[in-house]
Amino acid sequence: MNQRSFRLAAATGCALLVATLAPAYAGSANASSSAAGRVTAPLVGVMDIPWLNGPVVVAHRGASQVAPENTLAAVDAADRQGFKWVENDVQQTRDGKLVVMHDPTLTRTTNARRVFPQRAPWRVQDFTAAEIARLDAGSWFGKRFARERVPTLAEFLRRMEDHDLRLLLEIKNPQLYPGIEARIVKELSGAGWLDRGHVRRRLVVQSFSASSVRTVHRLVPGVRTGFLGNPPLNALASYTRYVDQINPQLSKVDAQYVSAVHRLRGVHGRRMEVFAWDVPLRNYARIASAYGFDGVIV
């Protein structure tokens, strides 16, 4: 999608992803850690949050239609195509490093079978970061991407910063990696992504695990968070204690469900939002309008 396409979509007035970041309540100019291990991001008053102008969409795993998913090339492509938000997936290596990878195994998007033929089933958690760095993460998509590697979270954050992009970060399979939330928070803080500007407008953390999202909110209460899934209507209110968004698969919800979410206020006092995923790029504006979505991940 190019810039002209975005301008045309904006003219429709459809409600798409308007991902301003969480309000906060008090804090210093820089993120800091308390004795309890809680990272306190710089927080501002609820009414200080400036809503972004115009609708945008989120590039799922980067511009993954034109570059290998979750790579730096996909970030570059998202920027060239005019996206302002990029979604990625974070997992942990055997030696406790954070890498950007969607699947629990390395086989679909790398040459792990060839490089490490005796290491079946080639799970991310069974390899060190140095071993994963040896893999080709681009050839499966096209020969011109043969030099692409699996990026670390730190590398990914730097490339996002280079392009001034905003990040929808998914904690993938957190049950496999006890303590991964604290490691992610530490990485974000060290990269400058928990300062005032990032926390206000450039970062959302989500997961399919409610426990993982609760942990992130406890560690960094100012950061916007989302739960991936579609909780039953009678359970929605319980999520307002630690999330700002309910982010379901398109096929699992209808307009009535979205309205029910919108009637609630999230953990930071604003109307709960709904960012749908698996939304086809060619129909995203019409779908967002029909369902009332606040955001779409295409």
Residues assigned a catalytic role: 60, 102
Q: What is the 3-state secondary structure (H, E, C) of the chain?
A: CCHHHHHHHHHCCCCCECCCCCCCCCCCCCCEECCCCCEECCCCCHHHCCCCCCCECEEECCCCCCCCCCCHHHHHHHHHCCCCEEEEEEEECCCCCEEECCCCECCCCCCHHHHCCCCCCCEHHHCCHHHHHCCCCCCCCCHHHCCCCCCEHHHHHHHHHHCCCEEEEEECCHHHCCCHHHHHHHHHHHCCCCCHHHHHHCEEEEECCHHHHHHHHHHCCCCEEEEECCCCHHHHHHHCCCCCEEECEHHHCCHHHHHHHHCCECCCCCECEEEEECCCHHHHHHHHHHHCCCEEEC
